[in-house]
Structure 1
């Protein structure tokens, strides 16, 4: 299960804390500088448009009027869109910069969309167009060039919704992780003979029982759980436990609230009772899911204004409740199954479908590879023929050059050509003189003597 870096997860904190951080500070105070850098680093929301969100906030915060509104805004002002109406009053340079940021974001998403579509077409996959278009929800689709009040309202509402749904998505992801583990366990056992399978099943059951034999876990946010942190983590006398002091000790960034990460840090001692990375039976992925459940439990019971942050006032009020001193027993993940057998069967059917799809793709790739290899062989044969032709042509040119140096010239097919020779006069005279020395033939028709 992937764990996104979700820091202070409420938009109000993003706005207000950005404005607070921009107050001039003493640069010689190294400790304060380090705190500021740590706070800025921890502000990543984990949203795919986090950079755009952050840049918009930073630009808006440079406007004095909007900055003032940020410092006095509350959660409802932001969630109901009232704050976005103040956009009309910001300076021209701020609007210009916001317009530029929006055009950049639109361009980035268009490139992302095109890349996904090209990838889908290349692999012959069906695309979920609704899912792709959903990535533009934080922008006004009817205006792609200028940043208006509607854009700020959509940005806020989309971020709020996405952050609220984040935990639910993580739970679902963890559930699929657990089903995959069980599926792989069953497949592994199927490959064993009966004797080995029975032995392995017994071993796995023993590991599961060993994991369940852990110390009692205190309910998160209860006095027993906080006192344990006070004593073992803070090193203080449990008899002197003071909720207000405890809050200030664990508000590590001193912003007056306990955010989700500060809350999750409080549960480490409880989690160590159940999970040990050295033990084969303990799954660290399950430990992180347990941590998430503990944090959600505290947020549900302590966070009165539902901003996913615990203020000092909310924390102190929670210590006055009956559940603080007498909470219900905390049930860990191993107390009840996370999925039904029917859900597991559907998950396995989905895995089989994906496996078949991968096999089809692999076969298609294999056929394409064979075709490419055949084409490669044909090209190699053509290459050899071309090289042979070049070699023969070079040989003919060499023979022609040699013929020009006293050798008979070659014909069009490489055969030799002989030209008639012209003889000099003296060369013709000698045969003529030789002919004059021959005896003359007897004259014809002479009279015969009696």
Structure 2
């Protein structure tokens, strides 16, 4: 199977990039939205609330962070404090990311702090359990390890004080989540570059296994697939009027003449929170991606399709999301529709027009792979030698075990023979080796020989 065929089977890998956290930035913004509505005076004694509504609880979106549960639990507890909600209304996203909101923790009620203390203790206990399990798997049981030193790797809480939730804990939690998500796009691009370089490396390695004629045919097929993939309809610039009008007409079924940006925004704000989040934006690019990618085509790589989708979303966010909260508000959206770039956009450069790596980067990557293969080969040889030595020792042990068994069996046979021989009584002949032996007598007296005279009786 050639690399060209194999690459179509690798469609699950990049999806994980798509599912990696991006919504943590606006978890705290969600608190603002939750408190923006003007309260209406209602006589609660006359309102019947169904049981289902009483127990209903709105969950925060899963960020995908490994400390997501702890993050959401802290937010849920803080939401219940009136003072914290009021401060949240007057704090913008930039101040939140800089840690100014964390200082308000000193003014929340005592029972809120108590709940936060308990959450932190549970989280520290969870981390210690994970550390111990990992340590035991790698190094065996070692009960003397320093948990405090190992907890330093978890930057989202203050490990020095594992018992109480302080201002520093909230500050670390916000800043760590912010940093993790800001680095996500960079890490995603690097991951995709590695994927593309590995694909090209495998293709070249496969070519090296072919003779000249087959190699030529494979190269021709490869170029044909590239040309076929690039032969697609025009791709509209993401976020431009042409692109949005196409969605308006084909996805929404509306007349392009009646295109209205404000109406378009409300149509695609699927959760009705007044913002276009990253998933809602990515859904707008489906029509453009379908022009370039078809899972049934050999020449189309679904990994590259997901990377293209994320590039489009990233581009629109950079152009429209002016406050960098990873959300597009209605005001930001309307402002972007008044720009020249919205009406007369530049042409969009797709992935095939922007190589993911250079030849120098590929050579460096192949060198790294070669070093890894050498290391693996060396370790494999060492393991093989260890295996052979263990087999030799096992053979010696088996030989010793066999000798021991034979010795035990020989001793058992001797004991069995001795047990089967009848005891020899005094006066009875002892038959040995088929000859009858005279009974033994006490002393050294020998019987008289034939013809000997009887001994004379002694006289007193």
Please indicate the TM-score interval, normalised by the length of the shorter structure. 0.7 to 0.9
2:317, 2:328 within 8 Å by CA — same for their partners in 1? yes
Higher RCO by CA contacts (8 Å cutoff, separation 6 or greater): 2
**TM-score after normalising by structure 2:** 0.77
| Larger mean Cα displacement after TM superposition, 58-67 or 183-192 | 58-67
Residue 72 (structure 1) shift:
4.8
Q: Which runs of 5+ in 1 are unaligned?
A: 123-131, 410-415, 424-438, 446-450
1:19, 1:61 within 8 Å by CA — same for their partners in 2? no
Distance 1:153 1:29, change over 3 A: closer
Residue 265 (structure 1) shift:
0.7
Matched, 1:357 2:375: yes
Distance 1:442 1:51, change over 3 A: closer
CA distance in 1, matches of 2:458, 2:296: 140
1:19, 1:70 within 8 Å by CA — same for their partners in 2? no
2:25, 2:326 within 8 Å by CA — same for their partners in 1? no
**Equivalent residue for 1:302, pick from 301, 312, 320:** 320
Matched, 1:253 2:271: yes
Matched, 1:87 2:105: yes
| Larger mean Cα displacement after TM superposition, 243-252 or 55-64 | 55-64
Residue 161 (structure 1) shift:
1.2
Matched, 1:268 2:289: no
For the residue of structure 2 that corresponds to 1:216, the secondary structure is: coil
Distance 1:299 1:396, change over 3 A: same
Residue 380 (structure 1) shift:
3.0
Distance 1:442 1:357, change over 3 A: closer
Q: Which runs of 5+ in 2 are unaligned?
A: 1-12, 38-47, 141-149, 426-431, 433-438, 443-452
**Equivalent residue for 1:232, pick from 246, 250, 272:** 250
CA RMSD between the two structures: 3.7
CA distance in 2, matches of 1:333, 1:117: 43
**Aligned residue number for residue 190 of structure 1:** 208
Question: Mapping of 1:44-193 within 5 angstroms?
Answer: 44-110=62-128, 112=130, 135-193=153-211
2:289, 2:309 within 8 Å by CA — same for their partners in 1? yes
**Aligned residue number for residue 373 of structure 1:** 391
Residue 325 (structure 1) shift:
1.2
CA distance in 2, matches of 1:194, 1:397: 78
Residue 119 (structure 1) shift:
6.9
CA distance in 2, matches of 1:383, 1:114: 40
For the residue of structure 2 that corresponds to 1:273, the secondary structure is: helix
Q: Please identify the structure whose Cα radius of gyration is greater.
A: 1
**Aligned residue number for residue 352 of structure 2:** 334
| Larger mean Cα displacement after TM superposition, 71-80 or 236-245 | 71-80
| Larger mean Cα displacement after TM superposition, 132-141 or 113-122 | 113-122
Q: What whole-Å deviation, never above 9, does each CA across 1:352-386 have from its counterpart, x for those lacking one? A: 01111111111121122222222333333344445
Distance 1:164 1:407, change over 3 A: same
| Larger mean Cα displacement after TM superposition, 256-265 or 3-12 | 3-12
**Aligned residue number for residue 207 of structure 1:** 225
2:21, 2:181 within 8 Å by CA — same for their partners in 1? no
Residue 235 (structure 1) shift:
1.7
Residue 174 (structure 1) shift:
0.5
Distance 1:330 1:402, change over 3 A: same
Distance 1:323 1:344, change over 3 A: same
Residue 101 (structure 1) shift:
3.1
